[in-house]
Structure formats: structure tokens, C-alpha cells
Amino acid sequence: MRALWPQAHHGLDPWALYRPDDPDAPLLRLNMVAGVDGAATDRHGHTAELGGPGDWEVFRTLRAQADVVLVGAGTARREGYGPARLRRDLAARRRDDLGRARRPAIVLVSRSLALDPASPIFAEADPPTAVLTCAGASAQRRARLEPVATVLTAGGDHVDLVDGLARIRQVMGPMITCEGGPSLNASLLRAGVVDELCVTLAPQLVGVPSAPRLAGGLDEPAALSLRQVAIDDTGELYLRYRLAHREGAGDAHG
């Protein structure tokens, strides 16, 4: 991988490329892959055929740098999410360097709580997977999840993401990597809580008109400020943006 902008740099380690300037500062990153036509899913409605090995490397790096991996329940169901497993070198040496716990916790966002308590994302998770929901969620489904997950409640009839993120940070730490999907991304952007957008631009046109975009349904455009551009030999571009309205907040000085 090599950086193209703002400075050209060959043989760059993704860890260095994405390392937060201040690991203790609150930071919420959205990490997504998309085709050049903006499609956020491949022709099968998954992401497997979109990202190459470089994207996988960035995905694992951003995961390994975070205290928390935030995921929409739709993505967890569609992509068959399991617990966050890290490559050994990223897990031990490098998480230590940032002062992180051994592994990040996964937090699923769900209003319906239509989640299987027996699935590996709960049964095999260490630390335990958490679920962020709201008071209006089904009491019966909540009761089924409580023995296997930390269930956090924020908001009445809808999940209050501002309050929810504050609760998550209090318990789990300041740095959150959100792995989508598009509906959750849009909610987070509308709530004004996203600091960074890390996008892998895959060198393909998916060509499925109904494929979702990175953020499905914003009330108004969100201005982005380009922070860095990197590339690898496969032609994947790695773009890192700062949300313009978050310039100057938290970890903004890299």
C-alpha cells in the first residue's frame, strides 16, 4: 500500500496510515467499501466480491484500533457476523500501543431485537457482544438476549444514538469503528456523531441499480474534507475523509 496524498509514501503499513493521532480522544469512524458506481453491495447483496485483500487489511486494521466495533443488526444478519477475531500481531503488540483492551467489543444496534441469542456472535464472544436498543423494544426479546449480551437502552420509541454512544464510551472506551450498514450510517450521520469516513473504492462497476449506497437517506448533504488517499497494486483506492462539521473536534489534527 502506498500513500498518494497529502504526502507520497511507499511501502506504508495500514496501521501507521490509520493510527489515531490521539488514541484517547473520542472518535467515530465509518468504514465501508463501495464500487465506483457507488454500490455498497456486490451483485449478490453482500460485500465479499467488492473488497480485495487490501480492503480486508484496512478493515482488520480499523477494527484492531478500536475499543468498539459498531454494527447495524441488518448487516450482522446479512453478513453472518461473528465475534471480533483479530490477527495475532494486531491484537497483542499493537493494541497495547494504543492502550486498548485485548479485543474490541461488538455492539449491535437494533430496534426490533430480532437477533438469535444462540448465534456465535453472542455464544462465542469475548468480551461479550452488546446490543444497543431503546425502551420501546420487545421485552420478551430483550429477556432472551440478556443472559448472553449486555443490553444497553437509549431512547424511548427510537434508539437515541447520541445518548447510546455516550453510554458505550463510558463502559467500553472512546474509539468506535462502525462497519455499517447503510441505514445505520445514515442515522449516525443525521445525528451528527460521525468524525471520519474511511472508504475503499473498489475498481469495479457493480451495475445493480437497486444496490444500496454508503449512507441510505440523509436529510441534507454532508460535506467531507479529504484527509488522505492511498492505493495498492490492485488499484483499490483508500480514501479517508473528515466530516467537515467535525473539523477541530477530537482527533482532528493528523
Ligand X SMILES: NC(=O)c1ccc[n+]([C@@H]2O[C@H](COP(=O)([O-])OP(=O)(O)OC[C@H]3O[C@@H](n4cnc5c(N)ncnc54)[C@H](OP(=O)(O)O)[C@@H]3O)[C@@H](O)[C@H]2O)c1
Binding site for ligand X (CB under 6 A): 32-34, 40-41, 45-47, 50, 72-75, 78-79, 109-112, 114, 159, 161, 179-184, 187, 212, 216
Q: How far is CA 114 from CA 117, 189, 193, in A?
A: 9, 24, 25
Q: Which is nearer to ligand X, 175 or 199 (CB)?
A: 199
Q: Cβ 211 to ligand X, closest distance in Å?
A: 8
Q: Cβ 159 to ligand X, closest distance in Å?
A: 4
Q: Which is nearer to ligand X, 153 or 228 (CB)?
A: 153
Q: Cβ 174 to ligand X, closest distance in Å?
A: 21
Q: Cβ 79 to ligand X, closest distance in Å?
A: 5
Q: Cβ 163 to ligand X, closest distance in Å?
A: 12
Q: Which is nearer to ligand X, 3 or 184 (CB)?
A: 184
Phi/psi class of residue 58: alpha, beta or left (left: φ > 0; alpha: ψ in -120 to 50)? alpha
Q: Which is nearer to ligand X, 45 or 99 (CB)?
A: 45
Q: Cβ 16 to ligand X, closest distance in Å?
A: 22
Q: Which is nearer to ligand X, 230 or 252 (CB)?
A: 230
Q: Which is nearer to ligand X, 9 or 190 (CB)?
A: 190
